[in-house]
Chain A
Amino acid sequence: MPEKLIISDSFRAMGTNISLKIVWSGKVNDKKLEKIKIEVRNTFEKSEKIFSRFRENSELSKINKKLGIKTKISSEMLEILLLCKKFNKISGGYFDPRILKNLEKIGYKKNFKKNNFVSSGEEIILNKTEGLLENDLKIFSKEKKILIKKEVDTTGIVKGWTVDLVSKFLLKEGFKNFIIDAGGDMSIQGLNGNCEKWKIGIEDVDDTKIMLECSRIGLATSGINRKQWVVGEKKVHHLINPKDPNRFSLDLKTVTVIREKTVEADGRAKTLYLMGREDGLKFANENKIEALFLDYKGNVYLSEEIKQYIV
């Protein structure tokens, strides 16, 4: 049996750490390997060029300046906006790309890692997102055009979507066993170096207590443990509830979701976080979503569907 190699790469993109781990047996073609690594990095860079709201010349920044004007968009942007509409619909409005103005109001205008968000001392009132999304975001799929009335933010699902692109590319190139991880949005394929299903621990929870054992899935985690700051007297974070934007939920630390595709897990993880533990768990069970809730006391709550992955 040929020796198993772990090929790994890590770099920074889309405001987070990206890591790639491939289990490979057989001869390693160094040139091909280098090409693969470059292609993975380029895929993330391309997504950032299109969807970054911190780059003035990104496609997203450009279309947000064309409110009320029918605008041509890329295939990638079309796909992401269609996904935004879908998640808005299935979440009953908890997932909403129109939260951009509120994000900027609480100071999240720049890359979080590079900037410290310092409180201005003033109390800020955020506006509730009114009306249906389809009224503010009209998509003309055949023409690949949109008409938006309010600025949108697609960053909620873009990382997960990009991870799926990379995963598809690696599978096409003949790699079967790997994990691609973009700040917690993961595509987990095949088996690990011990020829077993990959074992995924939960951040801040000891591996001996709980782990997820999985293969051929997408996994995403949403939470506030890394992005919190103070505005006025209020502790805030980037997960704004469009239905009640001035109330920042602080009881849940993270929500992890498993789906076949990472982007599907990503959109649902954010939705469940915003719903809170009780409503989120109920929603997950009703909709057969594999979800794990972790609160600040260290309690873990599982939906029925995720129990099959627990070891």
Chain B
Amino acid sequence: MFEVKNRLEKFLISLSGALLVVVFVFGFKIKSDNLEKEKIKKESEADLSNDITSDSDVRKKIEADQEAMMSDSASEEQTIETIAPVVERPSTPPTVAEIKKSDTKTKTS
């Protein structure tokens, strides 16, 4: 049977075992993080696919909305409601200021 002969050997075997444990733990942790990242990425891509991503797209969307509203409005039947009867006033010629001018002036001699 294999027999540990001295203290140094014992120490080295213990250290190797500890390192093995650490490597095992870290290896598991890394794998777990990668799985998490992959999951987040997949979710983000799904959200962004439903959104508008540029200014030109925004303008196009607004214009499209306006056209839709206008065409709806044009198709509606228009009604005129009389609020107050309109009194038609006779047209009056523009007033011209009369120039006051005498035929002659008084004087003394």
Once the chains bind, are A200 and B109 in contact (CB under 8 Å)? no
CB <8 Å contact, B102 and A207:
yes
- Range of interface residues on B (Cβ < 8 Å): 10 to 19
> CB of A211 within 8 A of chain B?
yes
- A interface residues, how many (CB within 8 angstroms): 34
Q: Are B100 and A181 in contact (CB under 8 A)?
A: no
CB distance from B1 to the nearest CB of A (A): 144
Q: Taking the complex as formed, is A272 at the interface, i.e. its CB lies under 8 A from any CB of chain B?
A: no
Which of chain A's residues has its CB closest to B105's CB?
A201
Contact pick for B100, options A208, A222, A224, A254, CB 8 Å: A208
Per-residue contact bits, chain A 152-194, to B (CB 8 Å; 1 contact, 0 not):
0000000100000000000000000001011111100000100
CB-nearest residue of chain A to B102: A201
Q: Are B107 and A184 in contact (CB under 8 A)?
A: yes
Contact at A199–B101, with CB atoms within 8 Å?
Answer: yes
Check if B106 sits within 8 Å of A207, measured CB to CB.
no
Q: A199-B101, A211-B100 are in contact. Are A254 and B109 (CB under 8 A)?
A: no
Looking at B101, B103, B105, B108, which has the most chain A CB atoms within 10 Å of its CB?
B108
Those of A3-44 within 8 Å (CB) of chain B: 15-17, 19, 21
B101: chain A residues within 8 A (beta carbon): 199, 201, 207
What's the least CB distance linking B103 to chain A, in Å? 5
- Answer whether residue B104 sits at the interface, using C-beta atoms and an 8 A cutoff: yes
Q: Is the CB of A207 within 8 A of B109?
A: no
Option from A19, A227, A254, A311 in Cβ contact (under 8 Å) with B106: A254
Across the interface, do A16 and B109 meet the contact criterion of CB distance under 8 Å?
Answer: yes
Q: Which of B106, B108, B109 is in CB contact (< 8 Å) with A201?
A: B106
Nearest-neighbor residue (CB-CB) of A192 within chain B: B103
Query: What residues of chain B lie closer than 8 Å to A133, measured between beta carbons?
Result: none
Cβ contact within 8 Å between A202 and B103: no
Instruction: Kindly state the separation between the CA atoms of A311 and B103 in the bound complex, as whole angstroms.
Output: 13
Hey, what's the 0/1 contact readout for B69-109 against A, CB within 8 Å counting as 1? 00000000000000000000000000000001111111111
B109: chain A residues at CB < 8 Å are 15-17, 159, 182-185, 226
* Additional pairs, 5, CB under 8 Å, beyond known A192-B103, A198-B104, A207-B101: A17-B109, A181-B104, A198-B103, A207-B100, A227-B108
Closest 4 CB pairs of A and B: A183-B109, A201-B102, A16-B109, A184-B107
